[in-house]
Homo-oligomer: A and B are copies of this chain.
Amino acid sequence: MNNGSSNGSGRSPSNLPPLSLSILGVEPLDEFIREVADFIHHMIGQRPEGANGVEVEAKVGVLRDKVSGQRLSLPVLVETIIMPNSVDCRFESNMSPIQHKHFNTLLNNLKTTSSTPSEMNYAHLHLVDSFYAAPDGRGEKVRVTRDEKSGAVQACVQKVRLGSLDIYSPKRAADWRISVNVEIPVPQPIGTATHTRKKDRMSYTHEEFIVDLTQVTSTFGASSKPEVLHELEVELARPEYLLSTAAKRGDPNVSESERGAFDELIRAFVNNARILVRNSGDGWQ
Contact = CB atoms under 8 A, between A and B. Distances in A.
A120 B208 CA distance: 43
A270 to B, nearest CB: 9
Interface in A139-194: 168, 171
Contact of A20 (B20, B117, B211): B117
A10 B10 CA distance: 27
Contact of A257 (B10, B115, B268): B10
Majority secondary structure, A binding face: loop
Contact of A8 (B4, B116, B206, B260): B260
A255 B14 CA distance: 10
A75 B89 CA distance: 12
Interface string A70-89: 00001111111111001100
B4 A264 contact: no
Nearest to A7: B260
A25 interface: yes
Given A1-B24, A3-B26, A271-B27, A10 B76 contact: no
Interface stretch (A29-37, A46-54, A214-222): A29-37
A238 B74 CA distance: 36
A37 to B, nearest CB: 9
B271 A28 contact: yes
Given A77-B35, A80-B78, A268-B19, A29 B6 contact: yes
A67 interface: no
Interface residues of A, number: 78
A123 interface: no
A3 B19 contact: no
A114 interface: yes
A25 B115 contact: yes
Of the listed residues A8, A31, A206, A267, the one surrounded by the most CB atoms of chain B closer than 10 A to its CB is A8
A272 interface: yes
Contacts of A75: 74, 82-83, 86-87
26 contacts: A3-B26, A3-B28, A4-B29, A6-B34, A8-B261, A8-B264, A10-B256, A10-B260, A10-B261, A10-B264, A12-B245, A12-B261, A14-B258, A17-B118, A19-B265, A24-B110, A24-B114, A25-B115, A28-B275, A31-B171, A32-B79, A74-B76, A76-B76, A76-B80, A76-B81, A76-B82
Given A8-B260, A12-B261, 4 more contacts: A12-B254, A28-B271, A76-B83, A77-B80
